[in-house]
Amino acid sequence: MSKGFRNITGTFDILPDSQTIDGTTIPGARIWVDAECRIRGVMALYGFQEIRTPVLEPTELIARGVGQDTDIVSKEMFAFERGDTRYVMRPEVTAPVMRSYLQHHLDQKGGVQKLFYIGPCFRAERPQKGRYRQFHQFGVELIGAEGALADVEAISVMMDIYQKLGVHDTRLRINSLGDETCRSKYRKALLEYFEPLRSELSETSRSRLKTNPLRILDTKVEKERALLKNAPRLVDFLDSAGRAHFTLVKDMLGDVGIPFVEDPFLVRGLDYYSHTTFELESPVLGAQSALAGGGRYDFLAKAIGHRHQVPAIGFAAGFERLFQAMKAGGQNMDIPQHTQIYLVALGDEAQRWAQTTAARWRSAGHSVIYDLKGRSMKAQMREANRLNAGMVVIIGSDELASGSVVVRRMDSGEQQNVSLASIDSLVAT
């Protein structure tokens, strides 16, 4: 609009209060903090520990971890070079967390590592509803356990978090991609199936026959979806161990009361997934309906150069979509600012009194605010109201002379005179 600087396309400022721009609500900082607190609370119930890794990572880590042929790596990375080092703004956090886990030998700490993260990610996509170039994720990486218990543990925290955040209208889809051997068998079968139908496929699907045939499964083209009905199913290619794992996961989800639908066409866009994959979607989100997605990634460690295979499962979830879902669910997206005490000071001497009194009360743990501009009483009262002050203490020349101040309760409007000598004890209660 004006000629001044603006935030970069696809990014947004989080202001103290929520803002609505062209119908899109960007929650204020208080909302973000509140959501983060609740997420941390649920994580703690499960014993997940927070990990914070750098936003900048070696390009090679992401390229090898996420997969060279994925959209993320091939066209969506914010990457640059300095000297002979190549950097990326991380497009996701799973590979970085695995990197950190391996680098710091967290496997030597005994047991499994139950990690969670909260932070920004970057992808150079064209922004649209629910999609930004800098977006914010939270997620879980549960590393070191290969059994179905771990899968269900990861899915459970995820479901619990959405419950606690008041997002109830969701659908959990799950699938199993098996391991590399079943997948390559399946890939072959899929190729054989689609080869004769080549002419029916879209251009992108045809090129995927070469690069990544599995990705044809999540096509949105109607005609292709019809073709998929008779296509071979991945489940039929799982080996007995893979099948048993998947069955166990489904049984256990039933045991803990998490409803889900099995979706044989659920494949995820990142190379590192194997076996269990899942996605939580919300019908209120529009085109970008995925609230969270995840799966098992037992082969990631080797893909990024580790000697051994490291079993792991996790999910990543988007804050922006979470907030959209919360808002669509009728949740209040405004948490008002509030303060305990507002000092209305009139005149220089009263201001000095307010300053020293505020210092004393603040160190006692009360939130105390007073006017910094020497404004009129009316203006100060109005501000006290805006800040939802519980109590206002008024002091001017009269009060200084008489040695007592006026204390007003803002909710009831009750007022009383309190001597300067005893004012501290009143506040202490």
The least distance separating RNA from the CB of residue 363, rounded to whole angstroms, comes to 25
**Dist. CA 349–CA 277, nearest whole Å:** 67
Q: Which of residues 344-373 bind RNA (CB under 7 A)?
A: 346
Contact partners, residue 21, CB within 8 Å, separation at least 6:
none
| Cβ neighbour number for residue 71 with a 10 Å cutoff | 15
Task: Give the nearer residue to RNA in terms of CB position, either 92 or 151.
Answer: 92
SS (H, E, C) the chain: CCCCCCCCCCCCCCCCCCEEECCEEECCHHHHHHHHHHHHHHHHHHCCEECCCCCEEEHHHHHHHHCCCCHHHHHCCCEEEECCEEEEECCCCHHHHHHHHHHCCHHHHCCCEEEEEEEEEECCCCCECCECCEEEEEEEEEECCCCHHHHHHHHHHHHHHHHHCCCCCCEEEEEECCCHHHHHHHHHHHHHHHHHHHHHCCHHHHHHHHHCHHHHHHCCCHHHHHHHCCCCCHHHHCCHHHHHHHHHHHHHHHHCCCCCEECCCCCCCCCCCEEEEEEEECCCCCCCCEEEEEEECCCHHHHCCCCCCCCEEEEEEEHHHHHHHHHHCCCCCCCCCCCCEEEEECCHHHHHHHHHHHHHHHHCCCCEEECCCCCCHHHHHHHHHHCCCCEEEEECHHHHHHCEEEEEECCCCCEEEEECCCHHHHHHC
The window from 146-154, 182-190, 238-246, 314-322 that contacts RNA (CB under 7 A) reads: 314-322
The least distance separating RNA from the CB of residue 217, rounded to whole angstroms, comes to 10
Buried b (16+ CB within 10 A) or exposed e, 128-145: eebbbbbbbbbbbbbbbb
The least distance separating RNA from the CB of residue 288, rounded to whole angstroms, comes to 4
| Contact status: 210 vs RNA (CB under 7 A) | no
Among 169, 348, 398, 424, binds RNA (CB under 7 A): 398
The window from 30-38, 79-87, 108-116, 398-406 that contacts RNA (CB under 7 A) reads: 398-406
The least distance separating RNA from the CB of residue 341, rounded to whole angstroms, comes to 13
| Contact status: 215 vs RNA (CB under 7 A) | yes
| Contact status: 162 vs RNA (CB under 7 A) | no
| Contact status: 92 vs RNA (CB under 7 A) | yes
| Contact status: 96 vs RNA (CB under 7 A) | no
Among 113, 170, 176, 219, binds RNA (CB under 7 A): 219
The window from 128-136, 140-148, 158-166, 180-188 that contacts RNA (CB under 7 A) reads: 128-136
| Contact status: 102 vs RNA (CB under 7 A) | no
| Contact status: 129 vs RNA (CB under 7 A) | yes
| Contact status: 175 vs RNA (CB under 7 A) | no
Contact partners, residue 421, CB within 8 Å, separation at least 6:
403
| Contact status: 123 vs RNA (CB under 7 A) | yes
Among 88, 291, 341, 343, binds RNA (CB under 7 A): 291
| Contact status: 182 vs RNA (CB under 7 A) | no
> Which residue in the block uniquely carries the two structure tokens 């204390």?
407
Task: Give the nearer residue to RNA in terms of CB position, either 57 or 320.
Answer: 320
Task: Give the nearer residue to RNA in terms of CB position, either 243 or 366.
Answer: 366
Among 384, 391, 418, 427, binds RNA (CB under 7 A): 384
How many residues contact RNA, by CB under 7 A? 74
Of 277, 214, 276, the residue nearest 246 (C-alpha): 276
Q: Which of residues 259-288 bind RNA (CB under 7 A)?
A: 268-270, 279, 286-288
The least distance separating RNA from the CB of residue 287, rounded to whole angstroms, comes to 3
| Contact status: 336 vs RNA (CB under 7 A) | no
The window from 14-22, 31-39, 146-154, 245-253 that contacts RNA (CB under 7 A) reads: 14-22
The window from 147-155, 255-263, 316-324, 351-359 that contacts RNA (CB under 7 A) reads: 316-324
The least distance separating RNA from the CB of residue 84, rounded to whole angstroms, comes to 26
Task: Give the nearer residue to RNA in terms of CB position, either 91 or 242.
Answer: 91
Task: Give the nearer residue to RNA in terms of CB position, either 90 or 408.
Answer: 408
The least distance separating RNA from the CB of residue 279, rounded to whole angstroms, comes to 7
Q: Which of residues 54-83 bind RNA (CB under 7 A)?
A: 70-72
| Contact status: 320 vs RNA (CB under 7 A) | yes
